[in-house]
Structure 1
Amino acid sequence: MTAATLPLPLQQSSAFARALTAFGAQVSCDDPVILNRHFGPLGRIGFTSRGPLNTDHMRDLRSDGLRVFNAEHDRPQIYKAAGFRQIITPAHMAQWDLSPSAKDRRTAMHPKWRNQLRKAEACNLRIREVAWDGAPHPLFTHADALAQRRRYKPLPTALLAIFASIAPNCALIFEAYDKGLLIAAILVLRHGPTATYQTAWTSAQGRICHAHNLLLSHSANRLATLGHKTFDLGLVETDHAAPLARFKLRTGAHVRKLGGTWIAFLGL
């Protein structure tokens, strides 16, 4: 894959829309990508995540069935004018700029994060890159078990596997081995000039070796060589997941405000 021209979030990429359709969802694949459900007398309820990107046609989208969206951009006046009302305040995400050189990115890291990276490098771990095709992989066994214990719902592994199968070389797994034993792994999804940090797992030994730091730094360098300009590290939640938020931001990533969740119903 060569980096495309438009910096789309994963949820608005054409490959993700195709994966959703193959997964069995009813999807409108225009701008934006809309998931559709029918709820009796309410009719078709359209939902979009990390969109709409083009806000010039909000009224048209609403009349065409868009009822709920998590906004990519913070443009409340435009959404209100189109008849939407905000129900959840904006979240924030970590966005890592990959345009500087690897040396400059390393310099921009928080000193503690960079020190952990040095310790990981001193462990002489073996890093392996896998172009995932959707086949079973230990990463998802561990990650799904962790999600169950912590009671959160990530994207279904089956959906990610479909994405990997229909978009060759766009789902990369980076593995860390210590003395032949897999101790950490991450999944990165590629879409245009952006890539998304999707799934991660680290064992107890991986935490001791700071393998996660090494994998994230290595994957950022690799993505930059593939032509990607930004690395979407996902949401930062300082209230409920402060350690993970610190880990993401100490890479040198910047916080970017999204637009909140909005809702509208015809006749109201």
Structure 2
Amino acid sequence: MRVYGYYYAIMQVTIKWNILSLGEWSSYFSNIRRSNLLQDYSYAKAVAPLYGQRPKWGLIQIDGKPAGLCQVMEASVLWGAVHAVMLDRGPLWFDGYGDQDHILAFAAEMQRLYPRRLGRKRRFLPECAGSDVSTQAMSEAGWARQGDDLYKTLWIDVTQDQEALRAALRKSWRQSLVKAEKSAMSISWDVTPELVGLNLKRYEMDKIDKGYSGPDVKVLRSLCSVYAAEKKILLATAFLDKKPIAGILILCHGSSATYQMGWSDQKGRHVCAHHRLLWEATLKLKATGFSDFDLGGINDTDAKTVKTFKSG
């Protein structure tokens, strides 16, 4: 088979839309290692209504066999004349799938289903290694790369034992963690409306003060509502002298979890509160059976200090 000048093994790729029950989708999703937040059903439930989007859930089949999942967002006006389609951090592949040929074949099928045309905006942020091969595969199948930066994220394998996790930290990070552990701070893991509101307010202030990019508060509020109702949320608030000094928000999905938001004031930074919150969250995820912790997107321009912190 030939697609845009690129040859790969003959295979038939189809995407079956909305044929899985929520239980079936969740079962598949939970068995995918490093399944990410943006492909989680609950994420679409929380975010799609805010932007007038319609989610679609696809079961990818290769030669008639289940090969992966993809969650796509669509929006349209004027009876479809103006149309947007977005696939962020997908598809997610089952064991045995996801090599270069599979990625290319999937991209070609998406190109067939959603060809470039006047009035259509397309966004395809593939969940792959971001290698030159993967970028080439997207280009060969009709998906031109926009911009110079690829999406980057950092993962922690929390199936490792605690000693290995701690030993993997950089020396300076461990020193900050020790400082935080020796401080008099206390940590609350309660998820109450009051603490959710407090953390979102302080995060918004922190983002403005430090000038970094991050999720909009209205999106975070909706995510908190949905994930708290489904008991898939960790909210940690650090206190010193009974006053809040730092907080982090983590959302759980499948066998993975994602660091979604964090803030720290001057006192929190002085005692390295964020280091302790992140470390204790990692241990909580490990203790409750999660496999991987996604520390979220990083880049080299917007927030170098955030990248340094997340890199541990």
The bucket for the TM-score relative to the shorter chain is 0.7 to 0.9
* Residue 9 of structure 1 pairs with residue 39 of structure 2: no
Whichever of the two has the greater Rg, that structure is 2
Contact 1:131 1:169 in 2 (8 A): no
Greater RCO (Cα-Cα under 8 Å, separation 6 or more): 1
* Residue 26 of structure 1 pairs with residue 79 of structure 2: no
- 1:92 maps to what in 2? 152
Letter of the 1:104 partner, please give it. A
User: What are the ranges of 5 or more consecutive residues in structure 1 without an aligned counterpart?
Assistant: 251-268
> What do the CA deviations read for 1:29-52 (whole angstroms, capped 9, x no partner)?
314222223366864220222123
TM superposition shift of 1:229 = 1.2
TM superposition shift of 1:179 = 1.8
- The TM-score with structure 1 as length reference comes to 0.83
- The TM-score with structure 2 as length reference comes to 0.72
Contact 2:206 2:265 in 1 (8 A): no
**Structure 2: distance between partners of 1:80 and 1:150:** 37
User: What are the ranges of 5 or more consecutive residues in structure 2 without an aligned counterpart?
Assistant: 1-25, 59-69, 94-102, 116-121
Per mean C-alpha deviation after superposition, the further-off stretch among 143-152 and 87-96 is 143-152
- 1:102 maps to what in 2? 162
Please report the RMSD computed on the Cα atoms of aligned residues, expressed in angstroms: 2.6
- Secondary structure of 1:99 counterpart: coil
Contact 1:134 1:160 in 2 (8 A): no
User: Which of 121, 139, 150 does residue 80 from structure 1 map onto?
Assistant: 139
Q: 1:241–1:166: structure 2 CA closer, same or farther, 3 Å change rule?
A: closer
- 1:51 maps to what in 2? 90
TM superposition shift of 1:214 = 0.5
**Structure 1: distance between partners of 2:231 and 2:212:** 28
Q: 1:153–1:111: structure 2 CA closer, same or farther, 3 Å change rule?
A: closer
TM superposition shift of 1:134 = 9.3
Letter of the 2:161 partner, please give it. S
- Secondary structure of 1:207 counterpart: helix
- 1:259 maps to what in 2? none
The alignment-based identity, stated in percent, is: 23
Where in structure 2 are the equivalents of 1:186-225 lying within 5 Å?
186-225=248-287
Contact 2:212 2:302 in 1 (8 A): no
* Residue 145 of structure 1 pairs with residue 145 of structure 2: no
**Structure 2: distance between partners of 1:235 and 1:86:** 18
